């Protein structure tokens, strides 16, 4: 990491040294559809693709320009529930990744046990909560400079030279290339400029936190401009592993982006972009949280097993932040790609955009899947490689009464995964009941090797029309036609310690016991389908600065395939019907109001919505090590509904505040054959006429459970974000500027951390508060100190159950209090 920071420092220094050369070459060329030239005056933000006439000098107070509908508009004029964050807010609040953004956007939920197992949801829906399965689509689309990122793992890196982030809530399939049923995160980076500019930022903090960011932009010739940005983050882990003597769950990130803009004339921009990001932390470890009784025999639950093996957790207080994991940990994660974007202003009212992109993702993990210091699972790693290609064409028309967007999108993806899992010397004692098999240690060295690949193809035509029927009354219909095809291959080969193959069925008693841990399987699922979706929005400007709107959307999330294996029948044969999952059918209703008052010093936006999903794609699990840790199935119906509030105020110069809130009621309406939570599982098989045992009482267990009416996992009913900043003019060290103090915070009520809600894995609600204090000079210098999680709140990001229904509960503690300082210079 030291070498990375030497490299980054050299680039930053080079940016400063090159200032005169760039300045001498500075061109004066401009374009009506000029690329990102972000500027902020008070609460005014001008950003991506803003037309030349939209500048801070002629934009009213508290107006934020966005491109959510693929054209430049004031946020308050767009009948969509949107949270918008500019670059300065992102930098100063420390929200430098999508995971951090959720602290500023209450309706956004991001949960990650490691980069691959990352769930990004809006209003409680988007992707199944739990282990990632590559065979399904994301419900929340992540876009960076118009390029779709197909897997959340490729979007968990530090933001790099970001100008603005827009979080769009609700279906967006008639506006965006890839269909998105829950919303979209639209990230726009700063673009090359024909005026020399740049920035350098250095942060140091507790836990040996070091972060360096640098960017430089300017002309290479009269018609060519370039921009280069780099970022590096390094931080010691927050959990100490007494087995290895290392701090785990560290940060080790490096990113670089380069862009070249070619502007042959005032009506055409062609931008070639390339980026690369790498992470190589010792991550991701858990801590012991506790024990919750299951229906397994008492001598096979965690306390008895641990006693027999002479094991005790290193600490029973998870916030001692101690672990004793004995397997290697790694979260090697590399992603990058290239894109070519062309924007042609055909005339004053129409433009054509083309985005051609290729991206890759390379994932190299190592995990400890028994969550203990015992050698139960000695190896668990599933490295994966992805290539994706996408092409989008878009035509925009803007007229006096008619606005329109028409687009076409094509997408191709290939994912290859090679998995290896192996049992250790404590596995037989942990899992088996036959004393002879335990004594002979028949599970030690049992190895499963997985080979799987996925080919996905998608194509769509989409469009949206806005018609101003009368002054203030607008009707906005949209439609989408989509085709999706998926082909998959999953093969698991299981061998014992001597290298002998374990058969998929039959075999001797030892092989049958071994197959209960790792079951051989071969499936080749496939899926293809056409879908049609549409939406209709009606908005009306009741008066100046007051707009109300209503939206109905009938949309879908395409079907998928199970890429991690499927359940087997009593003879060990895979249940092929479980290889595919049905498309989700989504109906969405929303009403809202966008208002400004007090001479535009205050903004208040409200939204209320109800979304129902039939054939909801849920993540289920049977709790075993390798039989199936997780697979996809359809729940009959889920529903999410709620109310959202976004309020900001600037009563006088130098004082700003905001309060955003969300009430989210998301539940399974009908899911009668769901997997049972651990307290209702693990026992003997229930027989006809026999009642299952009570929760947590050893005895017979039901094969499935009815969880209808239960809350969806990962969803807090109440969530808020709030902030305040005050600034006063100050002359310091010969520079004019302002002294400022800011606070921002977030609150989330409790949520379930298990796909089938369990009494043991409800994460308690928590509140996080951050402070910052600094000086902004008029010359671009910004120096400030910060404290995050200032009151050292103890909270969990996730709770997980150990395998085999032993009642072991592990968890991922959230970050403790951290503090530091930042120096930034914009030039």
User: How many percent of the chain have pLDDT more than 90?
Assistant: 75
Whether 18 shows a pLDDT value over 50: the answer reads no
What pLDDT shows up at residue 796? 96
Q: Give dist(CA 259, CA 226) in Å, integer.
A: 6
The tens digit of pLDDT for each residue in 89-117 reads: 888 888 778 888 888 899 999 888 888 88
Name the nearest CA neighbour of 699 among 295, 359, 405, 311. Answer: 295
Res 564: pLDDT: 84
Confidence of residue 770 (pLDDT cuts 50, 70, 90): very high
Residue 67's pLDDT band, with cuts at 50, 70 and 90, is confident
Q: What domains, with CATH codes, occur in the chain?
A: 2-826 (2.40.170.20)
pLDDT at 9 over 90: no
Least confident window among 224-228, 278-282, 465-469, 781-785? 278-282
The region of weakest confidence among 89-98, 313-322, 489-498, 579-588 is 89-98
For 380-399, what is the mean pLDDT?
A: 95
| 347 close to 338: Cβ distance less than 8 angstroms | no
Query: Binning pLDDT at 50, 70 and 90, where does residue 42 land?
Result: very low
* 57-71, 404-418, 442-456, 689-703: range with lowest mean pLDDT: 57-71
For residues 396-410, give the mean pLDDT.
Answer: 96
- Collect all residues with Cβ–Cβ distance below 8 Å to 244 and sequence separation of at least 6: none
pLDDT at residue 427 tops 60: yes
Q: What is the pLDDT of residues 120-164, one digit of tens each?
A: 999 999 987 766 788 888 899 999 999 999 887 766 778 889 999
Query: Is it the case that residue 329 has pLDDT exceeding 60?
Result: yes
| SS3 assignment for 12-81 | HHHHHHCHHHHHHHCCCCCCCCCCCCCEEECCEEECCCCCCCCCCCCCCCCCEEECCCCCCEEHHHCCCE
Q: Residue 73's pLDDT band (boundaries 50, 70, 90)?
A: confident
User: Based on the number of CB atoms within 10 Å of its own CB, is 601 exposed (0-12), middle (13-18) or buried (19 or more)?
Assistant: middle
Q: What is the b/e burial string over 306-328, where b = at least 16 CB atoms within 10 angstroms of the residue's CB?
A: beebeeebbbeebbebbbbbbbe
Higher pLDDT, 233 or 53: 233
Give yes or no for residue 505 having a pLDDT over 50.
Answer: yes
Confidence class for position 13, pLDDT limits 50, 70, 90? very low
> Residues 804-816: pLDDT tens digits?
899 999 999 999 9
Q: How far is CA 392 from the centre of its chain?
A: 23
Mean model confidence pLDDT for the chain: 89
| Measured torsion, CA atoms of residues 94, 100, 104, 109, in degrees rounded to the nearest 10 | 180
- Considering only residues 207 and 90, tell me which one the structure prediction assigns the higher pLDDT: 207
Please, where are the H alpha helices in 672-772? none
Between residues 728 and 127, which one has the greater pLDDT?
728
* Bridging pattern class, strands 239-241 and 322-323: parallel
Stated as kind and residue range, the H or E segment containing 320 is none
pLDDT of residue 155: 61
Maximum Cα interatomic distance, the chain, rounded to a whole number of Å: 88
Question: 644-690 pLDDT, tens per residue?
Answer: 999 999 999 999 999 999 999 999 999 998 889 999 999 998 988 89
Predicted pLDDT of residue 630:
66
Q: For residues 135 and 408, which has the higher predicted lDDT (pLDDT)?
A: 408
Q: What is the pLDDT at residue 39? A: 29
Q: Are 677 and 756 in contact (CB under 8 A)?
A: yes
pLDDT tens per residue across span 481-494: 999 999 999 999 99
Q: Looking at residues 60-88, what average pLDDT do you find? A: 81
What is the helix (H) or strand (E) element at residue 513, kind and residue range?
helix 509-515
DSSP 437-453: HHHHTTTTT-EEEEEEE
811: its two tokens: 């968890």
Indicate the pLDDT class of residue 8, thresholds 50, 70 and 90. very low
Average pLDDT score over residue span 573-595: 93
In angstroms, the CA 624 to CA 571 distance is: 18
**789-799 pLDDT, tens digit each:** 999 999 999 99
Question: Is residue 24's pLDDT more than 60?
Answer: no
């Amino acid at each position: 990491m030291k070498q990375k920071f030497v490299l980054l420092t050299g680039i930053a220094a080079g940016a400063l040294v090159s200032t005169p050369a760039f300045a001498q070459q500075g061109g004066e060329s401009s374009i009506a559809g000029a690329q990102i030239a972000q500027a902020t005056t008070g609460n005014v933000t001008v950003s991506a693709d803003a037309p030349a006439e939209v500048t801070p000098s002629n934009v009213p107070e508290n107006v934020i320009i966005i491109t959510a509908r693929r054209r430049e508009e004031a946020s308050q004029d767009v009948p969509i529930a949107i949270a918008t964050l500019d670059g300065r807010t992102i930098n100063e609040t420390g929200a430098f990744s999508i995971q951090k953004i959720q602290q500023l956007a209450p309706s956004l939920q991001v949960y990650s046990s490691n980069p691959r197992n990352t769930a990004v949801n809006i209003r409680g829906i988007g992707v199944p909560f739990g282990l990632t399965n590559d065979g399904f689509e994301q419900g929340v689309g992540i876009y960076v400079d118009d390029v779709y990122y197909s897997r959340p793992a490729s979007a968990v890196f530090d933001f790099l030279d970001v100008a603005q982030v827009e979080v769009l809530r609700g279906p967006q399939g008639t506006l965006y290339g890839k269909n998105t049923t829950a919303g979209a995160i639209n990230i726009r980076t700063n673009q090359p400029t024909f005026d020399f500019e740049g920035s350098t930022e250095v942060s140091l903090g507790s836990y040996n936190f070091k972060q360096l960011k640098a960017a430089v932009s300017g002309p290479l010739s009269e018609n060519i401009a370039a921009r280069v940005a780099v970022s590096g983050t390094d931080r010691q882990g927050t959990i100490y592993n007494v087995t290895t003597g290392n701090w785990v769950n560290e940060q080790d990130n490096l990113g670089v982006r380069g862009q070249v803009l070619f502007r042959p004339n005032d009506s055409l921009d062609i931008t070639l972009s390339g980026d690369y990001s790498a992470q190589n932390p010792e991550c991701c470890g858990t801590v012991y949280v506790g024990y919750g009784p299951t229906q397994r025999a008492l001598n096979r639950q965690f306390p008895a097993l641990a006693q027999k093996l002479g094991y005790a957790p290193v600490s029973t207080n998870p916030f001692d932040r101690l672990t004793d994991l004995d397997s290697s940990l790694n979260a090697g994660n590399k992603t990058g790609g290239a894109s070519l974007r062309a924007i042609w202003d055909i005339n004053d009212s129409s433009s054509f955009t083309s985005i051609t992109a290729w991206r890759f993702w390379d994932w190299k993990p190592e995990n400890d899947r028994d969550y203990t210091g015992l050698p139960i699972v000695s190896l668990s790693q599933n490295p994966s490689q992805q290539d994706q290609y996408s092409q989008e064409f878009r035509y925009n028309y803007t007229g006096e009464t008619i606005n329109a967007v028409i687009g076409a999108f094509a997408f191709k993806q290939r994912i290859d995964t090679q998995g290896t899992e192996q049992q250790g010397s404590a596995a037989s004692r942990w899992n088996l009941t036959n004393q002879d098999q335990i004594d002979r240690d028949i599970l030690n060295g049992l190895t499963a090797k997985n080979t799987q690949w996925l080919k996905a193809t998608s194509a769509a035509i989409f469009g949206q029309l806005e018609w101003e029927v009368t002054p203030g009354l607008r009707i906005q219909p949209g439609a989408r036609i989509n085709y999706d095809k998926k082909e998959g291959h999953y093969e698991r080969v299981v061998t014992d310690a001597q290298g002998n193959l374990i058969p998929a069925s039959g075999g001797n008693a030892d092989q049958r016991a071994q197959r209960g841990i790792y079951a051989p399987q071969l499936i080749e699922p496939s899926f293809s389908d056409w879908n049609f979706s549409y939406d209709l929005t009606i908005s009306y400007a009741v008066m100046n600065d007051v707009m109300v709107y209503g939206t109905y959307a009938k949309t879908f999330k395409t079907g998928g395939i199970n890429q991690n294996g499927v359940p087997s029948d009593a003879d060990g044969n895979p249940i092929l019907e479980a290889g595919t999952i049905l498309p989700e059918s989504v109906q969405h209703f929303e009403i809202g109001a966008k208002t400004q008052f007090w001479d535009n010093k205050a903004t208040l936006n409200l939204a209320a919505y109800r979304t129902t999903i039939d054939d909801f794609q849920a993540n289920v699990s049977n709790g075993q090590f390798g039989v199936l840790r997780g697979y996809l199935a359809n729940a009959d119906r889920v529903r999410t509904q709620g109310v959202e509030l976004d309020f900001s105020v600037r009563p006088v110069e130098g004082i700003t505040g905001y309060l955003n809130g969300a009430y989210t009621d998301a539940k399974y309406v009908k899911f009668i054959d769901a997997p049972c939570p651990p307290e209702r599982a693990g026992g003997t098989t229930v027989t006809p006429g026999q009642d299952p045992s009570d929760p947590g009482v050893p005895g017979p267990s039901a094969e499935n459970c009815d969880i209808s009416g239960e809350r969806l996992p990962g969803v807090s009913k109440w969530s808020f974000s709030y902030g305040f900043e005050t600034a006063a003019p100050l002359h310091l060290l010969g520079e004019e500027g302002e002294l400022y103090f800011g606070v921002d915070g977030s609150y989330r009520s409790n949520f379930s951390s298990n796909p089938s809600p369990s009494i043991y894995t409800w994460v308690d609600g928590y509140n996080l508060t951050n402070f910052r204090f600094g000086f902004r000079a008029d010359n671009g210098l910004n120096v400030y100190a910060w404290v995050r999680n200032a009151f050292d709140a103890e909270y969990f990001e996730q709770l997980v159950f150990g395998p085999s229904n032993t009642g072991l509960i592990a968890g991922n503690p959230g970050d403790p209090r951290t503090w530091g300082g930042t120096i930034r210079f914009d030039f």
